[in-house]
Amino acid sequence: MKHSNQAMIQQLDLETIIELSHDVIYITDIQGTVILANRAACQLLQLPIAELVGANIEELIENDYYDYSTAMEAVRTHKVTNGFVKCRGGLIFSTSTPVYDSDNHLRYVITNSRLMSLMEKVVRLKKESYDYRLTEPPKLLIVSNAMRKVIKMADKLAETAVTVLLLGETGTGKDVLARYIHVRCNRNAPFVAVNCASIPESLIESEFFGYEKGAFTGAAAQGKPGLLEMADGGALFLDEIGELSPLMQSKLLRVLETREVTRVGSVRPHEVQFRLICATNRNLEQMMRSGQFREDLYYRINVFPLYLPPLRERPEAIEAFSSYFLNEFNSKYRKQRKLSETLNKALRYHNWPGNLRELRNTIERFVLWGSDFEFSPQNLVRPPDGDLLPDFSENRTLRDFLHDMEHNYIEHVLRICDNNVTLAASKLGVHRSVVYRKIKNKKEI
């Protein structure tokens, strides 16, 4: 009987079996080209089979058919890769398995995916507010000694479950470092990332704590677990925690003290255990002194603070990140842009208040605009007229050289600040009377 069944299965068309599967199944080569896909895959991506077969995974991501590829991650790591993927048809859980030939060379990747239930979709689809995904460690580009020290400390923290408070200006990569710490610690556990500033005040309690069915008008019929419950057994990352209202600060503090969560409309608490990672670009200590942030919550989350230096404090990283982003966007837009020395100089001179996020956006605009790209207050900053360094002349004294260099830099900062002396003095770290005096002395020479 067993041999009879095996023979019957061998007679069946393998593609027919795949086609009849309700799960999404597709096969890609090592370049990410789709060579086989079933009907479920077409329905999920909302693409006809003629367009899906032959398409490239990276192009599908660029065109927003979905936001992440476990298949390409499997090609990169040569390992079975799992992950939650948001696509046009909803949220799916995908597993990609590499297939090798007789010489142990990677030939294909088989991916099967299943659409998550309605409840799981409601919980996870607000990607701007939170994320829930099993990932490999994020790619880190470490150039400066300052960041090497940060990563060294992050590696030590990953070996523990200690609460971490990430401090730094906007765009310094606090969210990336939070993911790095989590994945280094336990990549198979849930990671729930919450942007505290992006959830409306009217919804924040139900999002954090969840709710029972019928808890309020418009509530899902089956109720919904909150973000704190979702983080159970894993990590909760609260980005921009300084934006939480006093009421939510109080409620969060109680959870951290009791390790219990009670859904809206319920009286039965749920026990939760998660590792807490917080991040902010605000001065929480100053907020605490002014009464904007609870003192007891501050000391609860400030167990191990880790400071990420801004880009202007690690100028040696600017060129490396510029090159990295240039390669990324040249590949994305199929361009071959190159940064001239003049442009590189302007990048080095900029203060980068938006840090890596601002630099990345600037490089993307350059790749798109090419020769039409101009550094201006709207897209970066006007470059200095020539080099900040004065003329190298053997007939000049060191005092004269330094005097001219100082004046050139003051003029450069004034241009950035649209000749606002007060703002320029603040950036230079001197009183505005000093700026006035330096300008006057130069004119009198």
Per-residue pLDDT tens for 230-275? 999 899 999 999 999 898 999 999 999 999 999 888 888 889 999 9
Look at residue 120 in the predicted model and tell me its pLDDT: 47
Helix axes 316-333, 355-369, angle to 10 degrees: 40
What is the spatial order of strands in the sheet that 34-37 belongs to?
34-37, 24-29, 106-115, 90-100, 81-87
**Which residue ranges of the chain lie beneath pLDDT 70?**
1-15, 116-137, 214-222, 371-396, 418, 440-445
pTM for this structure? 0.56
The CA distance from 438 to 243, in Å, is 41
The CA distance from 128 to 234, in Å, is 20
The CA distance from 87 to 72, in Å, is 16
Per-residue pLDDT tens for 148-170? 999 999 999 998 999 999 999 98
Kindly report the CATH class assigned to 130-307: alpha beta
Yes or no: domain 311-372 corresponds to CATH 3.40.50.300: no
Domain 311-372 matches domain 398-444 at the CATH topology level:
no
- Closest alpha carbon to 377 in 410, 341, 340, 419: 419
Q: How far is CA 91 from the centre of its chain?
A: 19
Helix H or strand E encompassing 317: helix 316-333
Question: What are the residue boundaries of the structural domains of the chain, listed by start?
Answer: 2-116, 130-307, 311-372, 398-444
Look at residue 214 in the predicted model and tell me its pLDDT: 63
Look at residue 396 in the predicted model and tell me its pLDDT: 66
Cα–Cα distances (Å) from 134 to 173, 292, 383, 432, in that order, read 19, 35, 43, 52
CATH of the domain spanning 398-444 = 1.10.10
Look at residue 308 in the predicted model and tell me its pLDDT: 94
CATH of the domain spanning 2-116 = 3.30.450.20
- Closest alpha carbon to 132 in 67, 186, 192: 192
Coil, strand or helix: which one is 155?
helix
The answer to whether the CB of 241 falls within 8 A of the CB of 281 is no
